[in-house]
Amino acid sequence: MKIIKLTNQRFGTPAFHIIKSGYALYEDGKGYVAFSSERDQYGILTPFIPRGGRKALQSLLDAGGFSSFDGMEYVNAF
């Protein structure tokens, strides 16, 4: 996994989407890390972007990653 900076990336569909900016984890060939519980009321899934930004994500990677993958999905921008 690597840390990627998102700048005005669109998630959802071209007709109905959410624009996100910030730092997120990206897995080559799969997409951005997201959690199923974070879907909004319209069903749009967006990447996990912690409030601590890049430092929070780096701390997560330095500690060995996630302790559980339950409810984790990958999402891609369009």
Q: What is the pLDDT of residue 9?
A: 96
- pTM reported for the whole predicted model: 0.87
For 29-77, write each residue's pLDDT tens digit.
999 999 999 899 999 999 999 999 999 999 999 999 888 889 999 999 9
Q: Say if CB 46 and CB 11 are below 8 A apart.
A: yes
Domain count, the chain: 1
48, 25 contact by CB (below 8 A): yes
Domain that holds residue 57: 2-75
